[in-house]
Chains A and B, each alone.
Chain A
């Protein structure tokens, strides 16, 4: 079975500062990994995905994530936070690319301070 751990349920950064949201996974087979974002009162939206191609994945809104097999990590970063980035971010893993086995982490709420 696969699982996802998101370190830090709440993260605060100043506008213009680096955003780093941590995600560690466990999977018995090579995983596919995803980051989703959820803005207040909205559904989840795919930010980026890793599907065994390039280990550095670029997504929307300037976010990127790096797959590190040795560390079983898939941390999400953005060089400069914007007020509009305030949202909840979910890391998810599936061992086979099947959405049926998609397991979400518990989420990280990002606050951007002016």
Chain B
């Protein structure tokens, strides 16, 4: 069974530039999550989708971050314009929807903002 796919693995940009990350969840997983993991910290939920609808985006900085999951499968997370403090690993995870914390994570996309 293929795992959660993310790209790119690494991205270096300058502040005020834009960046986009892509995630393809495990086939059949209705729920998709984007987490931000800053160095030395645990992952923090940015947004959760159930199929193509947003369940929770309360911690998403909506002035610069946006995410979509148009067809209920893959998803894109965009940052525009980027700030230095956005340097982090962006983790995508998916689950069948039964929760219990059983999330399946991708390898992450490491963003460095200079």
Which residues of A approach B to under 8 Å, CB–CB? 4, 9, 32, 34, 41-46, 49, 51, 90, 92, 94, 97-100, 102-107
**Of B31, B100, B102, B107, which is in contact with the most chain A CB atoms at under 10 Å from its CB?**
B100
Contact A9 B40 (CB under 8 A): yes
Within 8 A of A (CB), among B37-73: 40-45, 48, 55-56
**B: interface residue count bin:** 20 to 34
Contacts of A105 in B (CB 8 A): 42
Contact A32 B100 (CB under 8 A): yes
For the complex formed, measure the closest distance between the CB of B8 and the CB atoms of chain A, giving whole angstroms.
13
B33 within 8 A of A: yes
Contact A43 B106 (CB under 8 A): yes
> C-beta contact mask, B94-114 vs A, less than 8 Å → 1, else 0?
010001111111111000000
Alpha-carbon separation in the docked complex, A11 to B103 (Å): 25
